Chain A
Amino acid sequence: MNWDRRAFVKFAVGAVVGLHASPLIPKLMDDSAIWTQNWSWVPNPEDGGLAFANTVNPATGTGVRVRLIKGRMMGERIIRVEGNPEHPLSQGGVVPADASAVQLLYNDEVRVAAPLVRDKKTGMYREITWQQALDMVGGKLAELAKAGKAHTVVALGDEADSIHGQILSRFMAAYGSPNLAFAPRADDTLALAAWALTGQTDVGFDLMNASYVVSFGTPLLEGFGAPVAVRKAFVEWKKSKGALVQVEPRVSVTASQAGTFLACKPGTEALVALGMAAVMAEQGLADESATSAYGYAEFKAALAKDYNPKKVAELSGVPADKIVAVAKAFAKSPKAVAVCGPGPGGDPGRLADFMAVMALNGLKGNLGKPGGVAARKPLGLKALGEPANVDKPRLDGGKKGMKPANALALAQAALAGQPYKAGMVLVAGGNPAYAGPQAGVMSEFLSSAPFVVAITPLLDETAALADLVLPGTTFLEGWTDCRSSYGSPVSSYGLARPLVKPYAQAKTVGDALLALAAKLGGAVAGALPFASVEEALKAQTAPLGDLAELAKKSYFVQDKPAYGPFAFKTPSGKLEFHSQNLAALTGKNSDGAALPHWEKPAALAHGDGHALAMAAVPSLRSATGFQPLTPHMLKVLDGNTLRHKDELVVEINPKTAAEMHLAEDSMIVVTSAVGSVDARVHLYAGAAPGMVFMPTGLGHGAVSDAYTLGKGGNFYRVAEAAADSLSGLPTWGLTRVTVTKRG
Chain B
Amino acid sequence: MTTHEHGQEKRSKADWLLFVVGFILASALGFWLTPTILYAQKAQPFQFSHKLHLGEVGDEGCKACHPFRKDGSFAGIPGVEKCKECHSDDTLGDKPEEKVFVEQYVKKGKEVPWLVYAKQPSCVFFSHAAHAENAGIECTQCHGDHGKTETLRTYEYNRLSTYSRDIWGKSLMGLGSPPNRMKMDSCADCHRENGVRDACFVCHK
Chain A interface residues toward B at CB < 8 A? 1, 6-8, 10-19, 21-25, 27-28, 31-32, 34-35, 37-38, 44-45, 47, 49-50, 72-73
Instruction: Report whether A28 and B19 are in contact in the complex, using a CB–CB cutoff of 8 Å.
Output: no
Question: Contact partner of A38 among B12, B161, B172, B173, CB < 8 A?
Answer: B161
Main secondary structure on A side of the interface with B: helix
Chain A residue, CB-CB nearest to B22: A14
Instruction: Report whether B22 and A31 are in contact in the complex, using a CB–CB cutoff of 8 Å.
Output: no
> What's the nearest-Cβ distance from chain B to residue A139, in Å?
37
Question: Contact partner of A34 among B18, B75, B160, CB < 8 A?
Answer: B160
Query: For this complex, into which size category does the number of interface residues on chain B fall?
Result: 35 or more
Instruction: Report whether A21 and B27 are in contact in the complex, using a CB–CB cutoff of 8 Å.
Output: yes
Known: A12-B22, A35-B160. 8 other contacts (CB 8 A): A1-B12, A17-B26, A19-B27, A22-B30, A23-B173, A24-B31, A31-B38, A38-B161
CB<8 Å pairs between A and B, sample of 9:
A10-B18, A11-B19, A16-B26, A17-B26, A22-B29, A28-B160, A37-B122, A50-B73, A72-B77
How long is the Cα–Cα vector from A49 to B74 in the complex, in angstroms? 9
Instruction: Report whether A22 and B26 are in contact in the complex, using a CB–CB cutoff of 8 Å.
Output: yes
Instruction: Report whether B25 and A24 are in contact in the complex, using a CB–CB cutoff of 8 Å.
Output: no
B16 close to A (CB within 8 Å): yes
B20 close to A (CB within 8 Å): yes
> What's the nearest-Cβ distance from chain A to residue B103, in Å?
19
Instruction: Report whether A15 and B73 are in contact in the complex, using a CB–CB cutoff of 8 Å.
Output: no
Chain A residue, CB-CB nearest to B158: A31
Instruction: Report whether B26 and A23 are in contact in the complex, using a CB–CB cutoff of 8 Å.
Output: no
B161: chain A residues within 8 A (beta carbon): 31, 34-35, 37-38
B86 close to A (CB within 8 Å): no
B135 close to A (CB within 8 Å): no
Instruction: Report whether A50 and B71 are in contact in the complex, using a CB–CB cutoff of 8 Å.
Output: yes
A18 and B38 contact, Cβ closer than 8 Å, known pairs A34-B161, A72-B79: no
How long is the Cα–Cα vector from A10 to B26 in the complex, in angstroms? 13
Instruction: Report whether A23 and B30 are in contact in the complex, using a CB–CB cutoff of 8 Å.
Output: yes
How long is the Cα–Cα vector from A6 to B21 in the complex, in angstroms? 15
Chain B residue, CB-CB nearest to A32: B160
> What's the nearest-Cβ distance from chain B to residue A149, in Å?
49
Q: A-facing mask of B144-164, CB < 8 A → 1, else 0? A: 000000000000001011110
B31: chain A residues within 8 A (beta carbon): 22-24
Instruction: Report whether A14 and B18 are in contact in the complex, using a CB–CB cutoff of 8 Å.
Output: yes
> What's the nearest-Cβ distance from chain B to residue A147, in Å?
49
> What's the nearest-Cβ distance from chain B to residue A68, in Å?
13
How long is the Cα–Cα vector from A7 to B30 in the complex, in angstroms? 22
Question: Contact partner of A47 among B27, B30, B76, B160, CB < 8 A?
Answer: B76
Q: A-facing mask of B62-86, CB < 8 A → 1, else 0? A: 0000000101010111010000000
B77: chain A residues within 8 A (beta carbon): 72
B79: chain A residues within 8 A (beta carbon): 72
Instruction: Report whether A14 and B160 are in contact in the complex, using a CB–CB cutoff of 8 Å.
Output: no
How long is the Cα–Cα vector from A24 to B33 in the complex, in angstroms? 7
How long is the Cα–Cα vector from A72 to B114 in the complex, in angstroms? 10
Question: Contact partner of A7 among B18, B20, B26, B75, CB < 8 A?
Answer: B18
> What's the nearest-Cβ distance from chain A to residue B173, in Å?
6
> What's the nearest-Cβ distance from chain B to residue A563, in Å?
45
B189 close to A (CB within 8 Å): no
Chain B residue, CB-CB nearest to A13: B19
How long is the Cα–Cα vector from A32 to B162 in the complex, in angstroms? 11
B24 close to A (CB within 8 Å): yes
Within 8 A of A (CB), among B66-125: 69, 71, 73, 75-77, 79, 111, 113, 121-123
How long is the Cα–Cα vector from A25 to B37 in the complex, in angstroms? 12
Instruction: Report whether A19 and B15 are in contact in the complex, using a CB–CB cutoff of 8 Å.
Output: no
How long is the Cα–Cα vector from A423 to B198 in the complex, in angstroms? 70
How long is the Cα–Cα vector from A76 to B154 in the complex, in angstroms? 29
How long is the Cα–Cα vector from A10 to B122 in the complex, in angstroms? 46
Instruction: Report whether B160 and A31 are in contact in the complex, using a CB–CB cutoff of 8 Å.
Output: yes
Instruction: Report whether A10 and B22 are in contact in the complex, using a CB–CB cutoff of 8 Å.
Output: yes
A38: chain B residues within 8 A (beta carbon): 161-162
A27 and B38 contact, Cβ closer than 8 Å, known pairs A10-B19, A37-B123, A73-B111: yes
Instruction: Report whether B163 and A34 are in contact in the complex, using a CB–CB cutoff of 8 Å.
Output: yes
A16: chain B residues within 8 A (beta carbon): 22, 26
Instruction: Report whether B30 and A18 are in contact in the complex, using a CB–CB cutoff of 8 Å.
Output: yes
> What's the nearest-Cβ distance from chain A to residue B108, in Å?
14
Q: Which of A16, A38, A44 has the most CB of B within 10 A?
A: A38
B11: chain A residues within 8 A (beta carbon): 6
Question: Contact partner of B14 among A1, A18, A49, A73, CB < 8 A?
Answer: A1
A24 and B23 contact, Cβ closer than 8 Å, known pairs A37-B123, A49-B69: no
Q: Which of B22, B25, B28, B123 has the most CB of A within 10 A?
A: B22
Within 8 A of A (CB), among B28-60: 28-31, 33-34, 38
Chain B residue, CB-CB nearest to A16: B26
Question: Contact partner of B27 among A22, A34, A37, CB < 8 A?
Answer: A22
Question: Contact partner of B19 among A14, A31, A49, CB < 8 A?
Answer: A14
Closest 6 CB pairs of A and B: A22-B30, A14-B22, A18-B26, A18-B23, A14-B19, A15-B22
> What's the nearest-Cβ distance from chain B to residue A18, in Å?
3
Instruction: Report whether A11 and B21 are in contact in the complex, using a CB–CB cutoff of 8 Å.
Output: yes
> What's the nearest-Cβ distance from chain B to residue A579, in Å?
60
Instruction: Report whether A18 and B24 are in contact in the complex, using a CB–CB cutoff of 8 Å.
Output: yes
B1: chain A residues within 8 A (beta carbon): none
How long is the Cα–Cα vector from A37 to B15 in the complex, in angstroms? 46
Instruction: Report whether B69 and A15 are in contact in the complex, using a CB–CB cutoff of 8 Å.
Output: no
Instruction: Report whether A19 and B19 are in contact in the complex, using a CB–CB cutoff of 8 Å.
Output: no
B27: chain A residues within 8 A (beta carbon): 18-19, 21-22
B199 close to A (CB within 8 Å): no
How long is the Cα–Cα vector from A475 to B79 in the complex, in angstroms? 29
Instruction: Report whether A10 and B29 are in contact in the complex, using a CB–CB cutoff of 8 Å.
Output: no
How long is the Cα–Cα vector from A28 to B24 in the complex, in angstroms? 20
How long is the Cα–Cα vector from A35 to B161 in the complex, in angstroms? 4
B33: chain A residues within 8 A (beta carbon): 22, 24
How long is the Cα–Cα vector from A16 to B69 in the complex, in angstroms? 53
Q: Which of B33, B160, B173 has the most CB of A within 10 A?
A: B160
Chain B residue, CB-CB nearest to A36: B161
How long is the Cα–Cα vector from A28 to B33 in the complex, in angstroms? 11
Instruction: Report whether B20 and A14 are in contact in the complex, using a CB–CB cutoff of 8 Å.
Output: yes
How long is the Cα–Cα vector from A16 to B18 in the complex, in angstroms? 12
How long is the Cα–Cα vector from A24 to B34 in the complex, in angstroms? 5
